[in-house]
Amino acid sequence: MGLFSRGRHKAAETPEPEQDDATTGTDDAESADEAAGPFDVADRPDLDGRLDLGALRIPRASGMKVRLELEKKRRTVIGTSVALEGSALQMQLFAAPRSAGLWDEVRAELAASVEKQKGMVEETTGRWGDELVVHLPVTRSDGTSAMNVLRFIGVDGPRWFLRGMLSGLAATDDAAAEPLRDVLADVVVDRGPEARAPREVVTLTAPGTAEAGSEVDTGGAPERRTLTLRDLQRGPETTETR
């Protein structure tokens, strides 16, 4: 399923003379591909050094700030946003069926929703396969119109689906997006054994004594927490329903 069920199937072919791995580089390339996350906790049980948000374990990077997204009525943490080098990566985790991934279906629904909002949609290919770049019309505070650009990434895992949304320069600039893509590639997902309906949001927990709506500075050394108690201001996005 998605990243976690990718196999390399080769058609029957005439055997070729054996070549040294050092000259072909094939094994190294395959190993690097298999090492790319996000990971399920069953495949990455060593969680040392990551920020513990319960269902998501986030790698730390120098200068990175993590904000927790609060669902106001129930006071639960429904997502997180990582800010780094002037751009941001929002992540939300959803339950998924055992038999199939969600990204193809969700991507089509996102595109349809953007088009209804008079926006533009571009499908492109990234590190995890198909991505969606959306341009949504917004009105500035001075009354002028502009387009807000967001890039959506989807990763199908075992019984979970992780949706990433890049904003800022990272939405349009691949070089600016790489540090945040690296963060996403090292996330570990611990969905838990509970039975959940497909697309149900898997809630997160605040690290230590921090509360939902807080900002966490993960700047490399010992973790420092500043409780801002302000909701994350999210860019326009589609709400998942089931």
Q: Where are the alpha helices (DSSP H) in 92-142?
A: 103-116
- The pLDDT, as a whole number, for residue 216 is 56
Q: What tens-digit pLDDT sequence spans the chain (242 residues)?
A: 333 333 333 333 444 444 444 444 444 444 444 458 999 999 998 888 899 999 999 999 999 999 999 988 888 999 999 999 999 999 999 999 988 899 999 999 999 999 999 999 999 999 999 999 999 998 888 889 888 999 999 999 999 999 999 999 999 999 999 999 999 999 999 999 999 999 999 999 998 644 444 455 444 332 322 222 222 233 333 333 23
What are the CA-CA distances from residue 203 to residues 6, 20, 66, 70, 240 (Å)? 27, 48, 16, 10, 14
Cα 125 → chain centroid: 15
Write out the two tokens for 136.
């949504």
* Three-state secondary-structure class, residue 69: strand
Other residues' Cβ atoms within 10 Å of the Cβ of residue 219 = 14
The answer to whether the CB of 134 falls within 8 A of the CB of 63 is no
